[in-house]
Amino acid sequence: MPDRAHDLPHGEPLLRRLGREAARAFRPAHDLANLAESAADVQRPITTGRRIAVVGMRGGSGKSTLSALLALVFANHRHDRVLAVDVDPDWGSLPLRLGVRHRHALADVQAALAGAGSFEDVEPYLTSAGDRLWVLPANRGHMGDSPLTAEIYEHNAVPLTRFFGVTIIDCGSGMRGELQQAVLAGAHAVVLATPATPDGARTAGRALDLVAASGLGHLIARTVVVFTVKSPHTRKTLDLDGAAAILADVGAGAVRLDYDRHLASTSTLDPRRLAHSTRTTAIRIAAETLQRALHPTSL
């Protein structure tokens, strides 16, 4: 079968890549130091597995793409196992973005967990997406699948995460449902994906208000808002510094993930085809999120 990787768009144009490589030797030392520091933070030792919920208030926010990106970053930089769980009840796209075809779903794991004493007992129910990364979706992709419930999540997903250093949980859209509330209640940190527009900033504010109203106000300080740029024409429509300052007042972080042609495609993510800025930003998001997840007051 021919390698279709060459058919996928690269995150940035060839001319820009060549120019960046030519300037690499002249990059300021502090930029390289910051990147190295972020990579080191991603590798921080973990004694108890951390669950990171990736949420979005509406479809098209970039939630599943961001979930896949973070799962790849953690798997690439850490030395323990990483799990990516898709709990989007509306036929989530996380397995597609990670390039896997699955046979089992979250509900199938319960029997294995009952007597599981090691990772090897549950591994047959998971799908490998490369070194140290495993994927488990909400359903098997069949029309007759039973809907995922908060009870199934709490009984299956939460106990499963003890076998992993980091678990990325791709949630469904919105934050009001019982399932979304169960995911948030058991999360050590939250990544909120929202468009990099003034309306996206307002949406982030409403989302954090909902978190507080749900009795989960402690999660606000463990939240990183990622403003996703969906088009090259919307890069300058948001005052990120202003939005970040407002979010900092309530304890949340803010990062902008710029437009990337490869991310914008609906295909499997290939880290080799991501723009350099996308890779460095993803490492920064992962580092800040894990730092917040390891806060002494975490669950």
The proportion of the chain whose per-residue pLDDT surpasses 90, expressed as a percent, equals: 51
Give the closest residue to 74 by CA, choosing from 46, 34, 106, 113. 46
Are 262 and 9 in contact by the 8 Å Cβ rule? The answer is: yes
- pLDDT tens track for 51-69: 999 999 887 788 999 999 9
Are 228 and 195 in contact by the 8 Å Cβ rule? The answer is: yes
List the domains of the chain with CATH numbers.
Answer: 51-293 (3.40.50.300)
Backbone φ and ψ for 34, nearest 5 degrees, come out as -65, -40
Give the closest residue to 188 by CA, choosing from 297, 51, 49. 51
- pLDDT tens track for 109-139: 887 888 778 999 999 999 999 889 999 988 7
Backbone φ and ψ for 275, nearest 5 degrees, come out as -65, 150
pLDDT at 39: 81
Give the closest residue to 167 by CA, choosing from 187, 151, 181, 152. 187
Contacts of 153 (CB under 8 A, 6+ apart): 87, 106, 179, 182, 183
pLDDT at 106: 86
What one-letter code names the amino acid at 4?
Answer: R
- pLDDT tens track for 156-214: 899 999 999 999 999 978 888 899 999 999 999 999 999 998 899 999 999 999 999 99
Q: Note the pTM of the prediction, 2 decimals.
A: 0.86
Burial 166-185 (b: 16+ CB within 10 A, else e): bbbbbbbbebeeebbbbbbb
- Helix count and strand count (H, E) for the chain: 13, 8
